[in-house]
Amino acid sequence: MYLTRRGLIAAAGVLVMTLPACAPSAPGGQTGSEQVTLDVWGWRQEDVAAYRKIFKLYEDAHPGVKVKYVPYKADEYDTILRTGLSDANGPDVAQLRSYGLLQPLVAAKSLVPLDGQVQELAGFPEPVLDGARGESDKQVYGVPFAIQTLHVIYNKGLFDKHGLAPPKTWDEMTTAFGKLKAAGLVPLATTVTDTWMLPIQQEIFGATTYGGHDYLTKMLAGQAKFTDRPWVDSLARWKSTSEYWPEQYEGVSYVDAQALFTSGKAAAFPGGVWELAAFGKSNPELELGIFNVPPPPGAAAERTLVPGYVDGSFGVSAKSPDQKAAVDLVRWMASPEFGRAFATELRQISAVPGVRPEDPLLAQALAAYQADPSPYVTYAYFSGGTPTAWDLASEAFSTFVAGRSGAGDAAKHIQQGVDQWFKPSQ
Contact between 409 and other proteins (CB under 8 A)? no
Q: Of residues 224, 252, 276, 299, which one binds other proteins by CB under 8 A? A: 252
Name the strand (E) or helix (H) holding 355: none
Contact between 79 and other proteins (CB under 8 A)? yes
- Give the pairing type, strands 288-291 and 349-350: unpaired
Contacts with other proteins in 152-191 (CB under 8 A)?
none
Contact between 86 and other proteins (CB under 8 A)? yes
Give whichever of 33 and 248 is closer to other proteins, judged by the CB atom: 248
Contact between 7 and other proteins (CB under 8 A)? yes
Q: Of residues 271, 391, 393, 411, which one binds other proteins by CB under 8 A? A: 391
Name the residue among 320, 272, 285 with its Cα closest to residue 110: 320
- Secondary structure of the chain: what % helix, strand, coil (to 5)? 50, 15, 35
* Residue environment code for 370-391, b if the CB has 16+ CB neighbours within 10 A, otherwise e: eebbbbbbbbbbbbbbebbbbb
Give whichever of 30 and 386 is closer to other proteins, judged by the CB atom: 386
Long-range CB contacts (< 8 A, 24+ apart) of 390-397?
390/100, 390/199, 391/417, 392/417, 392/418, 393/198, 393/199, 393/202, 394/195, 394/196, 394/198, 394/199, 395/195, 397/195, 397/198, 397/199, 397/202, 397/235
Give whichever of 22 and 122 is closer to other proteins, judged by the CB atom: 22
Of 1-9, 306-314, 326-334, 348-356: span binding other proteins (CB under 8 A): 1-9
User: How far apart (Å, rounded) are the C-alpha atoms in residues 61 and 67?
Assistant: 12
Give whichever of 65 and 260 is closer to other proteins, judged by the CB atom: 260
Q: Of residues 95, 103, 304, 350, which one binds other proteins by CB under 8 A? A: 103
To other proteins, the closest distance from the beta carbon of 300 in angstroms equals 28
Contact between 386 and other proteins (CB under 8 A)? yes
Q: Of residues 174, 193, 217, 323, which one binds other proteins by CB under 8 A? A: 193
Positive or negative CA dihedral for 195, 379, 214, 348? negative
Contact between 192 and other proteins (CB under 8 A)? yes
To other proteins, the closest distance from the beta carbon of 342 in angstroms equals 28
Whether the Cβ atoms of residue 186 and residue 282 lie closer than 8 Å to each other: no
Contact between 82 and other proteins (CB under 8 A)? yes
Q: Of residues 246, 289, 295, 312, which one binds other proteins by CB under 8 A? A: 246
Q: Of residues 173, 365, 394, 407, which one binds other proteins by CB under 8 A? A: 394
To other proteins, the closest distance from the beta carbon of 232 in angstroms equals 19
To other proteins, the closest distance from the beta carbon of 132 in angstroms equals 16
Contact between 417 and other proteins (CB under 8 A)? yes
* Residue environment code for 157-172, b if the CB has 16+ CB neighbours within 10 A, otherwise e: ebbeeeebebbeebee
Q: Of residues 100, 206, 295, 373, which one binds other proteins by CB under 8 A? A: 100
User: How far apart (Å, rounded) are the C-alpha atoms in residues 421 and 247?
Assistant: 39
Long-range CB contacts (< 8 A, 24+ apart) of 224-230?
225/415, 226/389, 226/411, 226/412, 226/414, 226/415, 226/418, 227/408, 227/411, 227/412, 227/415, 230/300
Contact between 282 and other proteins (CB under 8 A)? no
What is the size of the binding site for other proteins (CB under 8 A)? 51
Give whichever of 251 and 353 is closer to other proteins, judged by the CB atom: 251
Give whichever of 325 and 410 is closer to other proteins, judged by the CB atom: 410
Q: Give the Cα-Cα-Cα angle 397, 400, 406 (nearest 5 degrees).
A: 130
φ, ψ at 79 (rounded to 5°): -70, -45
- Give the pairing type, strands 306-316 and 36-42: unpaired
Contacts with other proteins in 356-385 (CB under 8 A)?
385
To other proteins, the closest distance from the beta carbon of 11 in angstroms equals 8
Query: What is the contact surface with other proteins in residues (CB under 8 A)?
Result: 1, 3-4, 7, 78-79, 82-83, 85-86, 100, 103-110, 192-195, 246-253, 256, 259-260, 385-388, 391-392, 394-395, 398-399, 402, 404-405, 413, 416-417, 420
